[in-house]
Amino acid sequence: MSSDDRGKDRRQQDAAVEVERRQGDRRRWKRIPVEIWGEASDGEATYFHQAADLSAGGVFFTGAIPQPVGTVVKIKLELPGVEPLTVNGVVVNTGGGVDLGMGVQFTDLSDEERARIDAVVESD
């Protein structure tokens, strides 16, 4: 098998895994596409990213060079119509495939923080 064939097989497998992942999606929170800026700080450095989607459970930063899964981060989001929100999170996925990005699950949200995120999500 040539390297071109192996590359094609890998891309087909990656696409099949992505389709299966989406079909088995068990998210608890309504998720909306967004184009907002956020900061992710791991205590040593702060990274600026654009978010691609948002829910009360977390955020996905697209085009981001991901931090390792399990990294604890402080997230600051520029939410539309409300003051910036700073919350804690943990990196739970790194996008996979050829697209750079990382998913961050919010941790320890207060009722007020969750309500602010829900207001943005439900206004969509």
Question: Does residue 38 carry a pLDDT above 60?
Answer: yes
Q: Rounded to whole angstroms, what are the CA distances from 64 to 3, 46, 47, 107?
A: 28, 12, 9, 20
- What is the pLDDT of the chain when averaged over all its residues? 80
* Residue 14 pLDDT class (50, 70, 90 cuts): very low
* Residue 19 pLDDT class (50, 70, 90 cuts): very low
Question: Does residue 30 carry a pLDDT above 90?
Answer: no
* Residue 124 pLDDT class (50, 70, 90 cuts): low
pLDDT for position 85: 93
pLDDT in tens, 54-105: 998 999 999 888 889 999 999 999 888 778 999 999 999 987 766 788 999 9
pLDDT for position 80: 81
Instruction: Work out the end-to-end distance of the chain between its first and last CA atoms, rounded to an integer number of angstroms.
Output: 48
Q: Are 103 and 92 in contact (CB under 8 A)?
A: yes
Q: Are 89 and 76 in contact (CB under 8 A)?
A: no
